[in-house]
Amino acid sequence: MTDLNIERTIVIDAPIEFVWRTITEQDQIARWFADRVELDLRPGGSGTLFFEKLTAPLVVERVEPPTLFTFRWCHPDDERPAFGNSTLVEFTLVATADTCTTLTVTETGLAAMPLAADEKRRFADSHGDGWDGCFDRLGALFRV
C-alpha cells in the first residue's frame, strides 16, 4: 500500500505567536477549519469540531506553545482515541523570519487502523483534499 500519511505546509507572513493563536483558539479555528469549535486546550483535553454534515470529537495530545499542537480524532464513537483506532494530527510551527511562520500539518496513524485497504485510500484522499481546503482558507486569512 502507498504511503497513507498526509502532510501539508504553508508559509504565513505573520509572527509565530499570531499563527499559534489562529490554530489553537476556538473562534480562530472556526475561521478556517470547522464551522464551530469546542476545545479544552491542554493535554488530555477534549474537543469537538462541528462541520455542516459532520461532528468530529477529538482529544488533545500535546500543547507546546508556540511550536506544537497535536490531537487524535476519527476514532470509533465508543472508544477513546489511541494508536490503532484514530489518526494523529500534528501542527508544527517554525519561525522563519521576524514576520514569517512555516506551518506544517501531518496526519498519521491511518495505516494502523482496522480498515480495508480501499477504505484507507479513500480516507487519505478525502483528508488530503480537506487539508488542502483548510490551508487555502488559512492562507487567505493572512493575505492583504
Domain assignments of the chain as residue spans, ordered by start: 6-142
Say which CATH superfamily domain 6-142 falls into.
START domain (3.30.530.20)
Residue 130: is its pLDDT beyond 70? yes
Residue 81: is its pLDDT beyond 60? yes
DSSP string, 4-72: --EEEEEEESS-HHHHHHHHHSHHHHTTTT-SEEEE--STT-EEEEEETTEEEEEEEEEEETTTEEEEE
Q: What is the pLDDT, as a whole number, of residue 36?
A: 96
pLDDT digits (tens, 9 = 90+) for 60-78: 999 999 999 999 999 888 8
Q: Per-residue confidence at 1, pLDDT binned at 50, 70, 90?
A: very low
Side-by-side strand order, sheet with 6-12: 6-12, 100-108, 87-97, 68-73, 54-64, 46-51, 36-39
**pTM as predicted:** 0.93
